[in-house]
Structure 1
Amino acid sequence: MRALSLCLLAGSLTLTGCSLLQSKPAPTQEPAKMIEPAAPEKPAHTAPRPSPVKLYQNAEELVGKPFRDLGEVSGSVCQTTSQGNAPSLTTARKRMLTKAAGMKANAVLLHQCVVLSDSNGCYRQALCQGSALNVSEQ
């Protein structure tokens, strides 16, 4: 049994010794590659800004100006609980103007901006409504 163990030990040492004697192949030199400069990255939020939409407070401001009515628009802000941030009429108005810009309007005739209580699942809601218009400048 000892003889068999010695033979196996001698054989494994011989194999290990042979593998240590082998030389590793020399690494091949690859030709240098030209690194092209990276294109400048575009910002993640590159949504085109809508053209400014003018807000008309009353219909008298439109007298003498040709315009086309594109439909009703509204913007709202919801305060879900009594501890939440109070709804802002300014934010509701901005959302209304943004929707009008999406309709290709360049003006909005404001009908009303109000703060409502207990409506549409909101504790309080700021709501602005108006008509989206395309006003021609002469």
Structure 2
Amino acid sequence: MRALPLCLLALLLAGCSAAHRTQPIFNEHPTYEPSQPAKPKPVSTRPAAIKLYKDPGALVGTPFRDLGEVSGESCQVNAHDAQPSISNARRRMLNHAATMKANAVLLHQCQIVSNVTGCHQQAVCQGSALNVSFK
């Protein structure tokens, strides 16, 4: 009587294995052998160099195309935060010009403004993004 359950189990296992189609066996974990050690790609945090013109007279005789107005801000949310920085506002203005494919900015003004919506004080820089043909 003990042989009957063993025979049924063997028959069941043989029947299940015959019902499955055989598929090629793929290695789930292929071996990876790099030919050279992987080098990390450099991260560029600086945009292309953008020339800042503070005097419009410096552009006289130089061909350029005006790409539009750009601005940058630095905000002091409340009185206990760090003071707004004109240099940060200028840097953000230059980054905005870089996204417009400009290679120069003519600075119109930088100022610190008080009681702006959302800011206790705010440094703002405004200028024109330019594409200058350097000779």
Both proteins in one fold, TM over 0.5? yes
Aligned length: 105
State yes or no: 1:120 paired with 2:104: no
Sequence identity of aligned pairs in percent?
Answer: 53
1:90 corresponds to:
87
Counterpart in the other structure of 1:29: none
1:56 matched to which residue of 2? 53
Structure 2 stretches lacking a partner, 5+ long: 1-29
Offset, 1:51: 1.2
- 1:83 and 1:49 map into 2 onto residues whose CA distance is 30
Distance 2:38 2:115 in 1: 49
- Pairing 1:65–2:27 present: no
| Structure 2 residue matching 1:127: 3-state secondary structure | strand
Deviation sequence 1:20-62 (CA, Å, 0-9, x none): xxxxxxxxxxxxx96513752535x835742100000011010
Provide the rounded CA distance (Å) in 2 between the counterparts of 1:49 and 1:83.
30
| Residue type at the aligned position of 2:121 | R
Offset of 1:73 from its aligned partner? 0.3
Output the amino acid matched with 1:122. C
Structure 2 partner of 1:6: none
Bigger Rg over Cα? 1
Residues 42-99 of structure 1 deviation map (CA, whole Å, 9 limit, x = unaligned): 35x8357421000000110100100000000000010000000000000100000011
- What TM-score do you get using the length of structure 1 for normalisation? 0.69
SS in 2 for 1:40: coil
Deviation at 1:120, TM superposition (A): 2.6
Q: Tell me the TM-score normalized by structure 2.
A: 0.70
Misfit runs of 4+, over 2 Å: 45-50
Distance in 1 (CA, whole Å) between partners of 2:97 and 2:81 is 28
